[in-house]
Structure 1
Amino acid sequence: MKQLSEQPVAGTLLFYFVVYVFAKTYKRDQEKKNAQAAAATAAVAAAATFSPPATATAETAKPTPPKRVLPPISEDEQRQIYKWMLEEKRKIKPHNAAEKNKINEEKSLLKEFIRAESLPRL
């Protein structure tokens, strides 16, 4: 087997690979040190700045708006929604038997809701 020094291309590639690995490691270590130093200086600067009193920040905070309460949906509208959902379920083309069974169960449940005298509240 030939020595590595006798194969100039392989030796050169190995040399560049080793240099590349060391350079990446050195660069990564320097970035970590710089990030730690920046975090330390930011912490010192934050501690040195003057903070306003707590009452001033409470006044500037905007209150959250109350949630909108929608009126309940009438039973006729619910039935129309269930009928629309049933129509959409009928349009679906199942890819396998399990999916077909699931769709059939959902359709039967929708049919029960449509035929029921009183509907569950949405």
Structure 2
Amino acid sequence: MENQIPGGAAVNRYKILWRVFLIGNFGLGAYMFAQAGKKERVKLKTEAPVEVTPTPTPTPTLTPTPATTLTDDEELIFTQPTTRPVIVRQPIPEDQQRELFKWMLEEKRKVKSNNREEKLLIDNEKAILKEFLCSKSIPSV
């Protein structure tokens, strides 16, 4: 039996497969870019627009520079910083704190340090955790 040598280059022989592969990759890339843009647009829509209430504008005491000169149509708007309410949580019981400290100590023991400073830092943290575990009462935060 004689070996048959296929005619033409591999690209020409599988031209249809190459085309399908390239079109599929371009389609996948376009889909991925479209989804990323869609997420950004949804994110912008869900953000609540900041409402600026008109307040009496005090006159600035500094003389404006040419770059910050205001026209007659524009006004300076000063807004008060918004503060978030502080969430007061229930204190964690002492036995749960001790369990948490024990877990943290075990995790610190598992950490492999890369250099001397990191090893000293981990050793110091472990020493603090051991002090908390050996003490009679745990300080509240």
More helix by share: 1
TM-score (norm 2): 0.42
Greater RCO, 1 or 2 (C-alpha within 8 Å, sep 6+): 1
TM-score (norm 1): 0.47
Which of 1 and 2 has greater Rg? 1
